[in-house]
Structure 1
Amino acid sequence: MTRTLTAALLASVALAAPAFAECEVTLRSSDTHPDGYPTVEGVKHMAERAKELSDGRICIEVFPSSQLGEEKDTIEQTQFGVIDMVRASFGSFNDIVPEAQLLSLPYLFRSEDHLHNVMDGPIGDDLARAFEARDLIAVAYYDGGARSFYNSQKPIASIDDLKGMKFRVMQSDVFVDMMSALGANATPMPYGEVYSSIQTGVIDGAENNWPSYDSSGHFEVAKYYTLDQHLMVPELVAISKTRWDALSPEDQQILRQAAEESEPVQRKLWAEQEKASEEKVLAAGSEVIRDIDKTPFIEAMAPVYEKYVTKPEYRDLVKRIQETE
């Protein structure tokens, strides 16, 4: 995998050399989503600001559509310093940064405003230190929306409707346990394999937010979308610690400022994309199930919390999140 990604990066360097020839520092950033997606555009805005603030010295080249690999692989390569930057869901870091698992606990966040207040405050700073201990420098927290279930078989209006169904989840233990607690069967697999797996019946469905349900084309093969909003998982933009440590303090500050300024831009784009995606999939004939009783879903999560909120510091973090206004 390292050789493959290194070869891809060398090829990209050759192709992009003329455009970035005048840059003293060039960072290559990976994203699994397609060009134009809010997370991709957020990093592009960070790139624009970094170039402006550095008078053209710092350039960030964004590779969307999993050009450098799927999220799990690109995260590992960013840790090793093969890739400079990665934008990925917090859920994809669950097996790397233990604290990240806590943010994937179902129904932990009450709303998007609640999530923003948590990530933009002292808790976000504490999480950044946890990532640094795993050779990743967290520079921005983006919106990932609320994740809900979609499938190709039937409308899901209650927890009983999930029993025995096969759902793709991210390659993370907490997501597997969440599905088990709901009585469904979890199938971890890369994001890029979901469409064909639903189409061929390998799985019944998956779970994601409005823009991902739309941009992936999954609504074409999974027409039933249930707005249970079980997860609000933030997105992370991280830089390889190896690459970060090689930068001057001035350049580090420029990148932090550019990343921070990109957050409200990405969040605004996200809200706009959610609305547009909802309109698109409804027009295409998707059936959206909105009026469900979430109480049984929430109560079913008790064993998941018991399994992952085990240490005093974890219980304290969850308590701090829940008490944040």
Structure 2
Amino acid sequence: MKKLTAGVLGLALSSSMLLAGCASSTSEGSAEGSDSAPKVETKTIKVANWYADDHGVNIALNEKFKTLVEKNSNGTLKVDIYSNSKLGGEEQMYDSVRAGTLEVAIISAIIEPEVPKVSTLSLPFLFRDLDHAQTVLKGEIGQEIAAQIEENTGVKLLGYGINGFRVFSSNKPLEKIEDFKGYRVRMPNVPQMIAVGQELGATVTPMPISEVFSALEQHVVDGQDNPYATLRANAWYEVQSHVLESNHIFLPHNIIMNKKFWDGLTPEQQKVVQDAMTESAAYEWQLYRDNEAKDKEFLKEKGLEIIVPDENFKNQMIDATKGIYDEFYKKNSFGEEIVNKIRNS
């Protein structure tokens, strides 16, 4: 009987040791990253804009931002790009970022009512050329505007891309200041930009960019104002005959991110996102510079006549819009100071 009991006890002890060994092995395997180890959550960054797929903005986003973020985040971040107003117009994209249903949007002067310093950038005939604009945005003034954007809207500004110098396309020649009379032009729904068209003598109709082609085709309006790249990418040359190279407004665009999403990223992920967008924006600027002459040549080949205003015509347009500066100074105590800083940059 004693022998039997001893045998049973020995077997039980051996089984306990075997089970203990198995438990120890499983625990070590988990600690060392076995299949049962917790997986890192992959977050998706949706980026929305109104530009066509082949516009420099989306080329830069795909070749730089998406590629760099997905590579350098080691798979913890994924980027989906929604071009061509797929997620709505500018106002809707802006509201979606603030509400947290969209992570990133590329918007322009739509935030002027909430961010007075942004309206500085849409003043007419303010910037001399691309170098001047880029210097201003990279410097103290660009930082001031960025700070006010973040403070007043609650979003994170990732950088300034480039919309560019705006020109007027039309279905009739605009060769002198008097030709603006009776010219029905689509412009963005931004009060100061609308005022530019009105002061030149045009009849301004605001509408979303997604509606412009049909409005031109159906002669609801005679023309629109946008940079050459946007004119080409949206194929408006199919329903326009002339371009006035007025360069009346230069606009960057503001690349904004939902602040809660930004705060939810790790410091390492934040650096990956910021570095990638900085490189993407720089690539945008380079593409704009490289392609402007090509865009103009393409439009000429499609039959558009490009009119470059002489000095007298240009000065007439500048004089016609001077009242916009007076109004800007009345509304904004910082107005005259910031304009002088820009002009002296």
Q: 2:282 aligns with which of 261, 264, 267?
A: 264
Q: What's the TM-score once normalised by structure 2's chain length?
A: 0.83
Within the candidate set 326, 329, 340, 1:309 is matched to: 329
Q: After superposition, where does 1:137-286 map in structure 2 within 5 Å?
A: 137-152=156-171, 154-286=172-304
Partner SS state of residue 122, structure 2: coil
What's the CA shift for 1:22?
8.2
* 1:4 alignment partner in structure 2: none
Structure 1 position 23, deviation (Å)? 6.4
C-alpha distance 250-315 of structure 1, shift in aligned 2 (>3 A):
farther
Unaligned runs of 5+ in 2: 1-38
CA distance in 2, matches of 1:27, 1:105: 33
What do the CA deviations read for 1:32-63 (whole angstroms, capped 9, x no partner)? 11212111122221222222332222222111
Question: TM-score, normalised on structure 1?
Answer: 0.88
Name the stretch that deviates more: 315-324 or 278-287: 315-324
The Cα shift of 1:227 comes to: 0.4
Q: Report Cα offsets for 1:271-318 as digits up to 9, x if no partner.
A: 233233212211111011014331011111111111123322222222
| Residues 30-45 of structure 1 mapped to structure 2, 5 A cutoff | 30-44=48-62, 45=64
Question: Following the alignment from structure 2 to structure 1, what is the Cα–Cα distance between the partners of residues 306 and 40?
Answer: 50
> How large is the RMSD of aligned CA atoms in angstroms?
1.7
User: In the alignment, is the contact (CA less than 8 A) between 1:135 and 1:242 conserved in 2?
Assistant: no
CA contact (8 A) 2:124 2:321 kept: yes
Mapped to 2, the partners of 1:243 and 1:314 lie a distance apart of 33
How many residue pairs align between the two structures?
A: 302
Q: Which has the larger radius of gyration?
A: 2
Residue 83 of structure 2: aligned partner: 64
SS at structure 1 position matched to 2:224: strand
Say if 1:23 and 1:59, in contact at 8 Å, map to a contact too: no
Cα deviation digits, residues 92-137 of structure 1 (max 9, x gap): 3223322111100011111000001111112211111111120221
1:282-301 equivalent positions in 2, closer than 5 A: 282-292=300-310, 293-301=313-321
Query: In the alignment, is the contact (CA less than 8 A) between 2:54 and 2:233 conserved in 1?
Result: no
Paired with 1:53 and 1:238, the residues of 2 have a C-alpha distance of 21
- Percent identity of the aligned residues? 25
Q: Which runs of 4+ in 1 moved over 3 A?
A: none
For 2:291, the aligned partner's letter is Q
CA contact (8 A) 2:216 2:222 kept: yes
